[in-house]
Amino acid sequence: KTYPNVNNIGIATIKTASADLLAQVAIAHTPVSEIDWQRALLFCAFGAMYSGVFQYWYMVNVFKKLFDVDKFTTQPWGDKLKDTEGLKSLAAQTAVDLTVLTLVYLPTFYVFKAGVFSGSADPSVWLSTGLNNYSTNFSKDEFDLIRVWAPADLVIFSVPLYLRLPVRHIVSFVWTAYLSFSRGGH
């Protein structure tokens, strides 16, 4: 409660790294002795920086400035369904988040991935490789992103503010395991 941003960084880092390990061991059936630790590092670093630092900043600080999040989220569910302005705000928050996921999250993931796997110390190589992979995978990634995050965001942006990031971390754990399985390898 005293250091929510530090707490969120810890949760995001552990969650993202754990989701990758789950994808490697349980989904892909990789023996524990053959875990790709470079890939685990990718998800650990990405979880700390994106989910831990950036996501906390924009979902808590920016959204509180753009939207009246407290009024809508503290109402009983029945009242929320009658709150026209609150429902418009819910739709706007969902649209903003889907835009951020599309234009910030996915490219950042691919740039992080290129930074870990490219074998180059040159950030311009990471950027060009990452953006090329983002572009190549865009159609499938965007379809999956909207399919998962649009309904999840409707719930996430409806719960009380103190539950927003914990609920997001639950959905994000499953999403990250999927992303690790489908896009995490070399």
DSSP code, position 74: T
Q: In angstroms, rounded to a whole number, what is the distance separating the alpha carbons of residues 18 and 11? A: 10
Q: Which residue bears the tokens 């395991």?
A: 177
Element (H, E) at 145: helix 123-156
65's enclosing H/E stretch is: helix 63-66
Provide mean pLDDT across the span 63-68.
88
CA distance linking residue 130 with residue 140, whole number of Å: 16
Q: Can you give the pLDDT at residue 118?
A: 87
- Mean pLDDT to the nearest integer, 54-58: 89
First to last CA, the chain: 39
**What's the pLDDT score for residue 42?**
85
- Which residue, 12, 14, 13, 32, is CA-closest to 24? 32
Asked which of 13-27, 148-162, 171-185 is least confident by mean pLDDT, the reply is: 171-185
pLDDT tens digits, one per residue of 123-174? 999 999 999 999 999 999 999 999 999 999 999 999 988 888 889 999 999 9
Q: Tell whether the model's pLDDT for residue 184 goes beyond 80.
A: no
* pLDDT of 108 strictly over 70: yes
Token pair, residue 53, equals 């630092």
What is the C-alpha to C-alpha distance for residues 123 and 47, in angstroms, rounded to an integer?
A: 19
pLDDT value at residue 1 = 65
Give the pLDDT of residue 186: 63
